[in-house]
Structure 1
Amino acid sequence: MADNGARPRCPCGSGEIYDRCCGPLHSGEARAGTAEQLMRSRYSAFATGDAAYLRRSWHSSTRPKRLELDEDTRWIRLEILETRDGSPFHTSGTVRFRAHYVAPGAAPDFMEENSAFAREDGAWVYVSAL
Structure 2
Amino acid sequence: MCPCGSSLAYERCCGRWHAGEPAPDAESLMRSRYSAFVMCNEPYLLATWHGAQRPKSIEFDRNQKWLGLKIVDARVTGPDSAEVEFIARFRIGGGSAARLHERSRFVKEGDRWLYVDGDIRG
TM-score (norm 2): 0.92
| Paired position in structure 2 for 1:73 | 64
| Paired position in structure 2 for 1:124 | 113
RMSD: 1.3
Give the C-alpha shift of residue 129 in structure 1.
0.7
Structure 2 residue identity aligned to 1:85: V
Query: 1:24 and 2:16 equivalent?
Result: yes
Unaligned runs of at least 5 residues, structure 2: none
Give the C-alpha shift of residue 51 in structure 1.
1.1
- State the alpha-carbon separation in 2 of the partners of residues 15 and 106 from structure 1: 28
Paired-residue identity, %: 41
**Structure (1/2) with the larger strand percentage:** 2
Give the C-alpha shift of residue 73 in structure 1.
0.6
| 1:1-34 superposed Cα distances (whole Å, 9 cap, x missing partner) | xxxxxxxx00101110001100121121x11000
- Please point out which of 47, 53, 57 is paired with 1:56: 47
Task: Report the secondary structure of 2:55's partner residue.
Answer: coil
TM-score (norm 1): 0.87
Count of matched residue pairs: 119
Unaligned runs of at least 5 residues, structure 1: 1-8
| 1:36-80 superposed Cα distances (whole Å, 9 cap, x missing partner) | 000000000001111111000000111001111112211110000
Give the C-alpha shift of residue 105 in structure 1.
2.2
Give the C-alpha shift of residue 108 in structure 1.
1.1
Q: After the TM superposition, which segments of 4 or more aligned residues of structure 1 sit over 2 Å from their partners?
A: none
CA contact (8 A) 1:59 1:120 kept: no
